[in-house]
Structure 1
């Protein structure tokens, strides 16, 4: 089926390093997280911002600004209109954001921005509240197969977005036929979705582990499956979907972009600094402890990768009827 192999194929060679770039220093002053505090984009900005300062790669502290709305569309529009040449600004993005662009849900096309680097990939997970009667992925799939409308599912993307697509991947692999009948609610972050699930408004959440790791550690929620090839080092007790007979993986890469009018010299300086950050013990530890798989792509290589991802997401979105 269309869902099962596209992401694994693209991430298989992701450890290839970008060429070393020599450039003038860049001075970061702000990182925009296009979500509420606590989500994956917020983690990206706050962790990268902290380590940039710790490694003296920027002057002073990096200001983190939360700008939720439209699954990144609000921040994208603001940067395009007001700060396209601001070399002191970086913005968190991911597979989720590029999927939205591919589906025409952002106010401008992909090449409006310059894509700096990918520093890791978050692992998709399927979660329920710790009090949920659903104890396993098998039980969830059986419930969706029996009555797809019986459960309210949610994540940090709209219908047809990456979180939704990952849930459909699991349901499709389990033989659920009426995928369009599965009820879906969008939130601006996995944290918001889990909070609503804990309050009883949502039954199942499909999101990234990095967004909700704190809830896992506290025991407030139960992860039914990690959508990874292998167990997650930080949470080895979480079973993969593959180990439960569902051959599905769903990674969400984490990266950054800057405005489309930033100069080549300023762009190259950012790529160089981010590669230094990626290779640091500080980033490798922070990424791994949060459940991320460290992966580097930078500069032109990352620009090419983002465009390939957008094409893939556009094709998949057509296949599932999200766009024509």
Structure 2
């Protein structure tokens, strides 16, 4: 008969193994938006990849990323198989001080998954057929249209719409924004007519756009984008010179061991070099932009500095 103490040791060892048999992709927003989509892309792309355990999805919304950031930095610093998804909006929040005194050096930047772009959308049955229609209505009555954005004043969705409004001669401070938690919530609110416009991202539009559902009025890209939104004109084509590119990627806690960090960096580098990943990325509504490890860290540092300059134009720094 096995001694009880041996059974206990076996049980503890087994539970430890099971607990570490899979990794986690942490989503700092509610389900349904582009952050959610990014983790699902990682989950699929890294399936059966060497050095990468199977990933489960977990949600930790709050403060447009602030809750997840502070949880990982203060309580879960060294988890070797926990990834957290981020976007250009996360970097903008860092630049503005919305994560407190946090800086890019507080975490370990693993990989960029691809590029995304801003867009402006309405319901398919909206009276606004073009961006010009919407801007005309906003000029006539700036507070008469509710605009759904992920985050509060100063978030990237707010800033995108503020830039478009300013280029059209509309005071952004006169507009009525509704702060929501993630792109999924924004589109849900629009379908319920709680808001009439969503300022969001192209990858989110890929999820929700379609006949009888959502009409995308403009993409904030340098030129028209291939694929599902190929017929949607850019804001520039419609006389509004606003371009808003952003990246999506993943980071890890600051206390993760170098060996584990490099293991993930290598796994992402291998994944992003494959034709299969290119296909998955396109299906997710993102465009080529691959960068890992030290190169991504340098890119993030520069992006935060650039976002800080942009935020100064609207007096958004804390």
TM-score, normalised relative to structure 1: 0.87
Match of 2:208 in 1: 215
Match of 2:89 in 1: 96
Match for residue 264 of structure 1 among 249, 258, 266: 258
After TM superposition, list the pairs within 5 Å mapping 1:25-104 onto structure 2.
29-59=23-53, 61-104=54-97
Match of 1:275 in 2: 269
d(CA) in 2 for partners of 1:316, 1:240: 21
**Quick check: 1:128 aligned with 2:125?**
no
**C-alpha contact (below 8 Å) 2:51/2:263 kept by paired residues:** no
Match for residue 299 of structure 1 among 293, 298, 302: 293
Q: Structure 1, unaligned stretches of length 5 or more?
A: 1-25
d(CA) in 1 for partners of 2:300, 2:22: 23
Report the 3-state secondary structure (helix = DSSP H, G, I; strand = E; otherwise coil) of the residue aligned with 1:118: strand
**C-alpha contact (below 8 Å) 2:148/2:189 kept by paired residues:** no
d(CA) in 1 for partners of 2:72, 2:313: 31
Instruction: Provide runs of 4+ in structure 1 moved above 3 Å.
Output: 54-57
d(CA) in 2 for partners of 1:219, 1:289: 21
Report the 3-state secondary structure (helix = DSSP H, G, I; strand = E; otherwise coil) of the residue aligned with 1:239: coil
Q: 1:107 to 1:182 in 2, by over 3 A?
A: same
**What's the offset of the Cα at 1:207?**
0.4
**What's the offset of the Cα at 1:56?**
4.5
**What's the offset of the Cα at 1:217?**
2.6
Match of 2:185 in 1: 192
Larger radius of gyration: 2
Report the 3-state secondary structure (helix = DSSP H, G, I; strand = E; otherwise coil) of the residue aligned with 1:295: coil
Match for residue 224 of structure 2 among 223, 228, 231: 231
d(CA) in 2 for partners of 1:139, 1:219: 19
**What's the offset of the Cα at 1:79?**
0.6
d(CA) in 1 for partners of 2:274, 2:32: 24
* CA offset digits 1:292-321 (Å, max 9, x no partner): 112012111111111111112222222202
**C-alpha contact (below 8 Å) 1:156/1:163 kept by paired residues:** yes
* CA offset digits 1:125-161 (Å, max 9, x no partner): 1001112111110111122223321211112122111
User: Alignment RMSD, CA only?
Assistant: 1.8
TM-score, normalised relative to structure 2: 0.88
